[in-house]
Amino acid sequence: MKLGYKAGLLLIAGVLGGCADTPKPIYSWDNYQDTVYEYYKLETGAEEQIAALKAGIEQAKAKDLPVPPGLHAHLGMLYSNTGHPELAGSEFEAEKVLFPESAPFMDFLQKKLKGGKK
Amino acid sequence: MRHLIALTGLVATLLLAGCAKPVDYDYSAFRQSQPKSILVLLPQNSSPDVNASHGVLSQVTLPLAESGYYVFPVAVVEEVFKQNGMTNAHDIQGVSATKLREIFSADAALYLEVTDYGASYKVISSESRVTVSGKLVDLKTGQQLWSGSATASTAEGNSNNNGIFGMLLEAAITQISHTLTDKSYDVAGVTSMRLLSAGRPSGILYGPRSPKYGKEAE
């Protein structure tokens, strides 16, 4: 049913987006926004959220669509919060490669990591 | 699956019926600014529900990104504010454009306010309604590029006069409500798509990552 719901959402997005010519989404959304919401709700642990995002990245590969903006950076934050600064660093780097618009902010986050903040 | 096919048919009918003509809206500042990246700040909440700000904030990346913008990771951005002692929307939205640009190098910032969020109980029915208004501001000039407001409600699905939108909304909500989350969060998703999808009358313009960028009628 999960799939049906995503498809429903995309249909709505299509209708709201206006005319008919590009119904195809730019990104593979999967559970990104829901995972962000769970981060706020504190109902699932950080490890579960990390697993969900990693699954989302695999899904995107399978669909041959890019992951949404922010996903790698969000994953990097979760890694950083759970004591994996080197994994966090490579996620910030991945965000930068996919979205050069994020570069100054990602550099800012990298610097904080190196500065030994938790 | 059968639901999906029915929905697709309805959507096709709607689309064949034609596209809405854009109403007059002054996009001159927006066109001139050509923002590529959008920083969404924690929404102000004037509804009674404490989850409103985060419920809405979690749902805004999709419409903005699908409209062609880079959207800064909302939770990471909030974390940075928190580490600098800013924990509420009032303080965060009060940070100057210059400062925001310095830290994030974003082209534009989106300021949101949630006025309705959550269930309200009426005599014969209850509904879950989410209303959000927003304005997009250029961080280089401080100039306002766009503003708008949108609402969505579970009650829409129950009234026949709302046509296709109501039916779609109802389908989305009845399906979604079986999953992990609460109804207001789901309705917030519909609201944010209405507010922040490009190509709608008086809506935002397409951004550079969209294939429709720059192709809108003048």
In chain B, where are the structural domains located? 22-121+128-154+184-196
Q: Where does B22-121+128-154+184-196 sit in CATH, by number?
A: 3.40.50.10610
Q: Which residues in chain A have their CB less than 8 angstroms from residue B168's CB?
A: 8, 11-12, 15
Cα gap A8→A11, rounded to integer Å = 5
The CATH number covering residue A36 comes to: 1.25.40
* pLDDT in the model for residue A5: 54
pTM above the 0.95 mark? no
Question: Which parts of B80-170 are beta strand (E)?
Answer: 108-121, 126-138, 144-153
Q: Which residues in chain A have their CB less than 8 angstroms from residue B193's CB?
A: 12-13, 16
Note whether residue A23 is domain-resident.
no
Note whether residue A8 is domain-resident.
no
- CA nearest to A96, candidates A88, A83, A105, A84: A105
Note whether residue A22 is domain-resident.
no
Cα gap B51→B187, rounded to integer Å = 13
Does B103 sit within 8 Å of A15, measured CB to CB?
no
A104 at the B interface (CB within 8 A)?
yes
Q: How far is B123 from chain A (nearest CA, A)?
A: 30
* pLDDT in the model for residue B158: 53
- CA nearest to B199, candidates B179, B184, B213, B185: B213
Residues 126-145 of B with CB under 8 A from A: none
Crossing angle of the two packed helices B97-104 and A103-114, in degrees rounded to 10: 70
Collapsing DSSP to helix, strand or coil, B201 comes out as coil
What ipTM was predicted for this assembly?
Answer: 0.82
From A4, A9, A19, residue closest to B189, measured CB to CB:
A9
Max Cα distance, chain B (Å): 52
Collapsing DSSP to helix, strand or coil, A102 comes out as helix
Q: Which residues in chain B have their CB less than 8 angstroms from residue A40's CB?
A: 51, 54, 57-58, 75
Look at chain A and report how many structural domains it folds into. 1
Q: Which residues in chain A have their CB less than 8 angstroms from residue B211's CB?
A: 22
Cα gap B35→B68, rounded to integer Å = 10
State the average pLDDT over residues A25-31.
Answer: 92
A90 pLDDT above the threshold of 90: yes
Sorting pLDDT into bands at 50, 70 and 90, what band is A46? very high
Enter the tokens of residue A71. Answer: 């996903």
Task: For residue B18, give the DSSP letter.
Answer: -
Does A13 sit within 8 Å of B66, measured CB to CB?
yes
- For chains A and B, count residue pairs whose Cβ atoms are closer than 8 Å: 159
Note whether residue A52 is domain-resident.
yes
* pLDDT in the model for residue A21: 46
- Mean residue pLDDT of chain B comes to 83
Note whether residue A43 is domain-resident.
yes
Does A33 sit within 8 Å of B59, measured CB to CB?
yes
Q: Which residues in chain B have their CB less than 8 angstroms from residue A71's CB?
A: 73
Q: How far is A27 from chain B (nearest CA, A)?
A: 7
B146 at the A interface (CB within 8 A)?
no
A101 pLDDT above the threshold of 50: yes
Radius of gyration of chain B (CA): 18
Give the domain extent around A63: 31-114
Mark the ranges of chain B whose per-residue pLDDT is less than 70.
1-23, 120-126, 157-181, 217-218
